[in-house]
Amino acid sequence: MTSLGNLRDLYQQVILERYKKPRYRGQAEPVHRYQKGHNPSCGDTIELTLNLNEVGDRIEEVRFEGEGCAIAMASADLMAEALTGRNVNEALEMVQRFQDMMKGGVEFPSEFRKLNVMQGVSKFPVRIKCATLTWHTLKAALESSSSAPPNGFVSNE
Ligand code: ZN
């Protein structure tokens, strides 16, 4: 566990705001992709639902449900916002970019600058999995080709 001082630095205002007042909690309507994710090291769980366009190459809506720490929940909310209206290839590139950023790599361009608030987490190795959980889960959701209802899916734990 990080100290309280570290946590204050880490939980920047945006992260806390998103945790307390998420904008993208809920379920996409209709659900075209569903994926559960779990981060055992912290206990975070996430359930992502996606609504895609007719061709299936564009994300119309991203929603999440789940329980976890402020970092995991805020990361999901920020991701949902950033990915709404993006095409699938672009979203997969962003997954890679987010993982790179967590390893100390480059930030997102100004269009996605809100995602850069998560960069502070990269200084706390034990919390990186909290921040990346939602992105791992998204990747699994996009790479599954099934549109079966949520019960038909397995956890990616
Ligand atoms: Zn966590």
CATH for 57: 3.90.1010.10
**CA of residue 151 relative to chain centroid, distance:** 21
Q: How many domains does the chain have?
A: 1
Mean pLDDT of 94-106: 92
Contact assessment for residue 131 and residue 71, using Cβ atoms and an 8 Å cutoff: yes
Q: How many Å lie between the centroid of ligand 1 and the Cα of residue 54?
A: 34
Distance (angstroms) between ligand 1 centre and the Cα of 140 equals: 19
Close Cβ partners of 33 (under 8 Å, ≥ 6 residues apart): 48, 49, 50, 52, 141, 142, 144, 146, 147
120 Cα–ligand 1 center, Å: 14
How many Å is the maximal CA-CA distance in the chain?
48
Q: What is the pLDDT of residues 24-71, one digit of tens each?
A: 999 999 999 999 999 999 999 999 999 999 999 999 999 999 999 999
Domain span including residue 55: 4-155
pTM as predicted? 0.86
| Tokens (6 digits) for 153 | 């899916």
